Amino acid sequence: MIKRYSLIAALVLATLAMTGCGKGNEEAADLPHFCTQDGSRLLIKQGKVRMEIMPKVGGRISSLKYAGHEILVPIVDLDKVTDWGTVLWSSPQSDWGWPPIDVLDNKPYRLTTEDDRVVLMSEIDPRTGYQFTKTYRPNGDDRILIEYRITNHSNESKNLAPLEVTRLPSSGSLFFPSGDSEISSGLFYSLDVQTVDELTWFDYDRKKIRTDHHKMMQDGKEGWMAYVDQGYLLVKEFSDSPAGTTAKGESEIEIFAHVEHIFIEMKQQASIQTLAPGEHLDWVVVWHVKKLPEDLAENPTPQALAAYVRSLLGSVAR
């Protein structure tokens, strides 16, 4: 769910967070029971899921394991921050270009806790006036809920949307319910995707990723996107954005494949909206992480996988 809040509410919440409201501090002893701290890394445990977060590197998710099996791209070089991790960006990307804004993407975030939540807050980016807050907490068996907040601290209204970017290994398949727009690739080479019944389906084939980066963009339906590889499943659940409501040149669902086969990006975003000075928006994404049941792992047809994904949903209010 995505919401917008007023100037007064934004200022009160920002003040509380920056002064260490409630249990907020950086001592591991004050972290919620599901979270431990190892040096500069936080580890959230829920069921068989282990999520690692790095507050000093953009508050980003750096590892996601199910029963010890890594699902994300591992960190090879901490300095190559655009090659790994899950990050929050603002959409449209054309507002800031490339590389990502370091204050929001990879600079240290302040760690606090609120009740059963781990809260990470960026500094204010001087160019855009944006400040990002990322809140993490378990949400049932093998599920972790992430609430993103973008606050507009500038002196002018901003048209923007939240965009989550997850870097995955160059293998496996991505799929989601096809929406009401055509598939496009923007400035990049197109990805070889198929339509299987009501699904848009992408199987990674490194022989088809050549010459340059490849990308696909399309509207989705039902508010979910999934990745499956080696019998493990990651599902992102979020509020569906109707076709035509995302930023110009963007789509609700995007898949990006790196030309050097370093990663695939699994990306989804919300509808664009206007934030007046001092206002903020909240956006909830729930991660479901599973090892496929044996019978499904042996016969992972698109229809059976989609049915299994749908059986997991219901954590985000629609």
Residue 207: burial class (beta carbons within 10 Å; 0-12, 13-18, 19+): exposed
Would you give the DSSP letter of residue 85?
A: S
Tokens at residue 165, please?
A: 């970017």
Q: How many other C-beta atoms can be found within 10 angstroms of the C-beta atom of residue 121?
A: 22
Mean pLDDT over 147-165 rounds to 98
CA distance 302 to 280: 38
Query: For the chain, which domains are there?
Result: 2-312 (2.70.98.10)
Mean pLDDT over 119-143 rounds to 97
Looking at residue 12, its pLDDT comes to: 40
Is it the case that residue 9 has pLDDT exceeding 50? Answer: no
CA distance 213 to 188: 6
Mean pLDDT over 53-59 rounds to 98
**CB half-sphere exposure, 131, CA atoms < 13 A:** 23
CA distance 71 to 13: 34
Looking at residue 73, its pLDDT comes to: 96
Show the DSSP H helices in 219-285 as ranges. none
Is it the case that residue 209 has pLDDT exceeding 70? Answer: yes
Is it the case that residue 165 has pLDDT exceeding 50? Answer: yes
| pLDDT bracket for residue 1 (50, 70, 90) | low
| pLDDT bracket for residue 5 (50, 70, 90) | low
| More reliable by pLDDT, 204 or 2 | 204
Residue 143 near residue 315, CB atoms below 8 Å: yes
Q: Global pTM? A: 0.90
Tokens at residue 154, please?
A: 């500038």
Mean pLDDT over 88-110 rounds to 97
- Residues 266-305 have pLDDT tens digits of 999 999 999 999 999 999 999 999 999 999 999 999 999 9
CA distance 91 to 250: 8
